[in-house]
Chains A and B, each alone.
Chain A
Amino acid sequence: MAMNETDQGYLLPCGRDVEAVWDRLDEIDAHELECPHCLGARESLRALRAATEEMAHDTEEPSRALFGRIMSAVRAEVRRGELLPVPSDAAGPIHVSGRAIAAVLRFAADTVPGVRARHCQVVARIDVIDVEMKLAVSHVNLTVDLVDVVRERVTTAAAARVGVRVNRLDITVEDLYDL
């Protein structure tokens, strides 16, 4: 494809810009019908486009081992975070990972339709915990009662799944995840 590189781009000998030909590959005008340069360029660009679409739809995946290597490295660097004391007796102290509690509470919040818990922080206050949680909600499910339902599920899960009482529970709806 003979052409000249100029400040304006790449020009075919007939003066047409290659990018312009590319942009209009599915239409054709009077000049292009007659012009061997344009016709040649269009054929080449069509072939390129077809091959490009092939490549864009290619689904070659990396080896399964790659995922394993990535996650091994990630897990090796997990920071445990705080261990929170929970009420215990003379048998000995009991501590639970704050992150583990947060995951349980998120899970409980997620059981409410249209709710996705995001930020969740748990702080130990002697015999109880304070929780701060932020939610993303589906606009379909957003109602006045929704936070109350989440509140109930979270409080129940804290007692039933972990064995701690929630003192303070701050829940904020911070985002609509489907809009």
Chain B
Amino acid sequence: MTAEHVITKPVVAAVAAHAASGVTGVVRLEPGIAGLVGSVARAARQRFKGLDPVPTEGVRVRMEDQVWVEVDVVTSAVDQAVAVARAVQRSVARAITEATGLPVAAVAVFILDIELS
């Protein structure tokens, strides 16, 4: 059955972006897919085929009966990068489920830079 989404992808992406930005240790989201390279990253993204990029927000979303999200962030060196990523995953998943009622299958976090000061 094709899911009809009352809430559109750009809105879900915006919810995700807002949730991610509010996490302690996230300096900003990286606009655009600033040249993700490497076979490992590409393989990881195979699971997210059909995603619509929202270039200005650093968020990509796929919605079916579940939601898949990718987030590109820059973190602060003051906080442990992996811990920040986990917090982003929790925060984004909670915000999207609250907004859409849909379960979130996975939140992939790409930390593109760590700001040292």
Contact = CB atoms under 8 A, between A and B. Distances in A.
Instruction: Please determine if A and B sit in direct contact within the complex, based on CB atoms under 8 angstroms apart.
Output: yes
A82 B109 contact: no
Contact of B85 (A94, A99, A101): A94
Interface stretch (B2-10, B56-64, B74-82): B74-82
Contact of B35 (A79, A87, A95, A161): A79
Nearest to A101: B114
Contact of A100 (B37, B109, B112): B112
Nearest to A96: B111
Nearest to A91: B89
A-side binding surface: helix, strand, loop or mixed?
mixed
B98 interface: no
Interface in B9-55: 34-38, 40-41, 44
Interface string A75-100: 00001111111111011111111011
Interface residues of A, number: 30
Contact of B36 (A83, A86, A99, A100): A83
Which residue of B35, B38, B80, B106 has the most chain A CB atoms within 10 A of its CB atom?
Answer: B38
B83 to A, nearest CB: 6
Interface of B: 34-38, 40-41, 44, 69, 77, 80-83, 85-86, 89-90, 93, 106-114, 116
Enumerate the 5 nearest inter-chain pairs by beta-carbon distance, A residue then B residue, closest first.
A163-B82, A92-B106, A82-B38, A91-B89, A83-B41
Interface of A: 79-88, 90-97, 99-101, 103-104, 107, 124, 160-164
